[in-house]
Structure 1
């Protein structure tokens, strides 16, 4: 369905979905329908929708919602978990006028959905003391369009360098601070095909900051631009570590499912991963002694990726006041402190990260340090098309099947033809 048709359908489908009922006390006649009802006597029901998470995260969210309802007894929150095909379900319900009042929205999906008009701008709803400036700037900007803010990030993760302390010590090398150092250190850490110095993720979502490190743009004017010579040059070093140096490998090369597993199994001495890898390694590979550092700089420039999800409001909601109260509590300092207290997500508010000590944490400190300069995984309304075509062609070059420049040129042409034909 085209965006115009999508928006038109959404507009036609908006409807009033509730009615106010007036009750009567024992023995008294029913009140006339036009009698005023005190605001504090009303209870508003709103729906919060999100996807499934771990039992520990679900329990934590339920705690935050319970705290909210204690402070707002006139608002009842119905928490709905959409287990499969989350965005498809959300879009279908929005089109049908049955969308939730508040819901999760990944940054990568935000540009397209915002431009349909389905998301309510929040600027005029939030209280003056909400302290918008407290949010990490790149995370907030992912939900801003045309001067308006459409969502507040509930948490995030950047990427950082995970390194095996014993392997580095045995090889007599230091933690690399630059990409040139990473390349050299990887040579010292590689042991044939048994252990690679560096575990790689050869796909766009993990490497946009690398592709743009030389000054090029992977996406430009909402179209694929990864055949840009500056982008090709930036990615060539990454590919050469695999094909020329033979000191880097992807997880499938060693029978692993992802770089976290590759690292935990001792098949890579260093990987670039996110916050989610910390509990995984601690629980699955408790004997591994690992450290974390910021991603090595490229040509003196810091870079990393950030992945974030925000709470947004359905523009068709008839309960915007209650929805605002929920969003501002969940992303306010009190609610966010509870939600991020276990470290499943990092606080998108700087003050909360400092209060919880994550900015100085031995492991997560590197992730927090990357937030101000991170590249958020969000690149316009055509990101799925760009993403798929980049990955299809980049992997062929990564495997040595064709030159990188040729592969990316074909991927860009195919992506833009698909975009033009929409």
Structure 2
């Protein structure tokens, strides 16, 4: 999401973002309102745009932004939230009308795409850096060797399992793909499936396919490889055997979690933001990394989470204060607070031990997040295009329209 992904679609933004380049430059040479080119001018208010439009996150983030505003001497922080699927479209509209927010939150795989347009200010302009942060968030926020965002918390995905159900069935948490298939089959009975995952035709579905693809040595730059086909076969085998529901092609990650809480799934692939709900539902669960296919492989999962950026605007004074707000949202205290509230993991490596000690239910995600892989690490701003091929090919396999060996080639040609 980044929390995994909130099911967001780019709404044709990949092509449309090209218009931001001249617009961003125009914004920089705009009027002298709110101080214009005077970086020392007084700033009374800042506008912030994000997609935290669901509770309790909206209120939690709003309160933190307000507190940060007070700490940096800004009387009012205008917190604006829009639904996830409309964020990029909103940014395009604001750029064209020269009304970009002073602070913009972005899902981490979107940062490079927006930075490439020239719409964001490098954080080094304000003396900010990402020293001490986990490598994944830094890689996602870096474009052409410049840092454009700071990410307070991160997440990834792993296998949750119901300890009571597995114990009663005499099943151990799986460490290999074969063990996953065997366990899922044994745990499937009545209305209970052995395993649940999200395989929707969107970026959330692509995000959930990355653990089997990456763990097996598959790569987003070579989607026609046998390693990727084997990962597609794993998803197909789980559904064809009845160990996973055919409805996975329609289930969001929230739907998957609902199945797990209702004990209609003994295991699921999901992220740490679900933990507060699992604790509330009193589910006795454990967490293990996604299984490997063969000995010697390393379980690899994608990096999720949102980051804070400073858009280029006509007011140097506001941009300077916006950078102070971004820094405040990333203090040790606020990283720990947001992680606890949102079921995520702090991105500052030095906070890991303290976080694990204070939040034992999150222990299973601290190390995976530290080693999580950025989705834009190899493709940069081209990631969204390749993600579409991934989820299209995955859907074609699960709906019987293509064989695993041919699906990605077919999806790329469509």
TM over 0.5: yes
Q: Which has the higher contact order (CA 8 A, sep 6+)?
A: 2
CA–CA distance in 2 between the matches of 1:389 and 1:353?
A: 35
Unaligned runs of 5+ in 1: 22-36, 415-422
Distance apart, 1:4 and its partner CA = 4.7
Task: Check if 1:10 corresponds to 2:8.
Answer: no
CA–CA distance in 1 between the matches of 2:401 and 2:18?
A: 41
Distance apart, 1:237 and its partner CA = 2.5
Is the Cα contact below 8 Å between 1:201 and 1:250 reproduced in 2?
A: no
Is the Cα contact below 8 Å between 1:163 and 1:290 reproduced in 2?
A: yes
CA–CA distance in 2 between the matches of 1:73 and 1:13?
A: 25
CA–CA distance in 2 between the matches of 1:2 and 1:367?
A: 36
Is the Cα contact below 8 Å between 1:199 and 1:272 reproduced in 2?
A: yes
**Deviation string for 1:127-184 (max 9, x for gaps)?**
5xx6x23211112210111111110112222112111112111111222233332222
The correspondence of residues 260-299 of structure 1 with structure 2, limited to 5 A, is 260-283=257-280, 286-299=281-294
CA–CA distance in 2 between the matches of 1:255 and 1:19?
A: 46
Correspondent of 2:224 among 202, 209, 227: 227
Q: Structure 1 residues 287 and 75 mapped into 2: Cα distance closer, same or farther (>3 Å)?
A: closer
Match in the other structure for 2:12:
none
CA–CA distance in 2 between the matches of 1:287 and 1:325?
A: 40
Q: Of the two, which has the highest radius of gyration?
A: 1
SS at match of 2:154: strand
Task: Check if 1:139 corresponds to 2:137.
Answer: yes
CA–CA distance in 2 between the matches of 1:322 and 1:134?
A: 23
CA–CA distance in 1 between the matches of 2:396 and 2:313?
A: 45
CA–CA distance in 2 between the matches of 1:329 and 1:53?
A: 21
Distance apart, 1:408 and its partner CA = 2.0
SS at match of 1:337: helix
Unaligned runs of 5+ in 2: 1-14, 200-204
**Deviation string for 1:312-353 (max 9, x for gaps)?**
011235222211111111112133233333244322222334
The correspondence of residues 34-73 of structure 1 with structure 2, limited to 5 A, is 42-73=42-73
**Deviation string for 1:263-305 (max 9, x for gaps)?**
122222111101222223344xx25322222322343312122
Distance apart, 1:262 and its partner CA = 1.8
Match in the other structure for 1:177:
175
Match in the other structure for 2:238:
241
Is the Cα contact below 8 Å between 1:110 and 1:142 reproduced in 2?
A: yes
Distance apart, 1:83 and its partner CA = 4.3
Is the Cα contact below 8 Å between 2:156 and 2:369 reproduced in 1?
A: yes
Give the CA RMSD over aligned residues.
3.0
SS at match of 1:316: coil
Correspondent of 1:371 among 339, 344, 369: 369
Moved over 6 A (4+): 253-257
Q: Structure 1 residues 370 and 298 mapped into 2: Cα distance closer, same or farther (>3 Å)?
A: farther
Q: Structure 1 residues 135 and 43 mapped into 2: Cα distance closer, same or farther (>3 Å)?
A: same
Aligned length, in residue pairs: 385
Structure 1 length normalisation: TM-score?
0.81
Structure 2 length normalisation: TM-score?
0.83
CA–CA distance in 2 between the matches of 1:303 and 1:320?
A: 37
Match in the other structure for 2:185:
187
- Per residue, is there more helix in 1 or in 2? 2
Match in the other structure for 1:32:
none
SS at match of 1:315: coil
**Deviation string for 1:3-30 (max 9, x for gaps)?**
5543123323441251559xxxxxxxxx
